[in-house]
Amino acid sequence: MSADLSGPVFRGQRRGLMYVLSSPSGAGKTTLSKRLIAQNPDLVLSVSYTTRKPRPGEEHGKDYYFTDEASFLEMAGAGAFHEWAKVFDHYYGTPKAEVDEALSEGRDVVFDIDWQGARALAKSAPEDVVRVFILPPSLALLRDRLQKRAQDSDEVIDGRMARAKEEIEHWDEYDYVVLNDDFSRALEKLSDILQAERLKRTRHPWVAGFVDALMKE
């Protein structure tokens, strides 16, 4: 007698994962995350709340949820964030409800956050989080990328470069490290990591029931 695979326990739905991408500003994590999502329709981007003003081209609800400091701190006090921190004089936070809903439905969520957020997520949900740190090929190239954005003053860029070194110091807290010296190659590595993590036994709770049924044949 073969195992009955018709029940809900054998549908094969796995729990989603939190795919955390971090890097110094200008190292390419935002572009890489957007391309990764474009290639994987079942991936969703975690949209953070922030108290900073929108940059040119940014949309509320798509790039960030833009809010004021009082509202943000009220949400933080109510436990509405998985993690939150103050970066460059502005607050950033990951909304909890929509992320938890996606994970329970088997969808993977991409996070474009810094090392502080990555550390906080790993502490709050260690079984769900996969952390990848993206390195630039050089600091000189990183500065050049920031300057070509033409969005920040030289003073702000100097601050971002100082922050970049602080970010890089935390590379060894991550599960994987990807060098973004070639965009296509870096994107392929991120995709490979995602696929491997999706196959982990711990993300497939249905397998235990399946094996139990097999052993009773």
pLDDT(9) > 50: no
The pLDDT tens digits of the residues spanning 20-71 come to 999 988 788 989 999 999 998 889 999 999 999 998 889 999 889 999 999 9
What mean pLDDT comes out for the span 171-194? 96
Q: Which two tokens stand for residue 197?
A: 């993590």
What lies within 8 Å, CB to CB, of 172 at 6+ separation is none
In three-state secondary structure terms, 106 is coil
* Prediction pTM value: 0.82
Q: How far apart are CA 134 and CA 11, in angstroms?
A: 35
What are the pLDDT digits (tens) for 91-114? 999 999 989 999 988 899 999 888
Q: Which domains, and CATH codes, for the chain?
A: 13-199 (3.40.50.300)
pLDDT band at 210 (very low <50, low <70, confident <90, very high): confident
Q: What pLDDT does 1 receive?
A: 41
Residue length of the chain:
217
CA pair distance 157, 217, nearest whole angstrom: 65
Token pair in block for residue 95: 């909304």
- Can you tell me the mean pLDDT for 153-173? 88
Q: Are 105 and 31 in contact (CB under 8 A)?
A: no
| Edge-to-edge strand ranges of the sheet holding 49-50 | 65-66, 49-50, 90-95, 81-87
Pairing state of beta strands 129-135 and 81-87?
unpaired
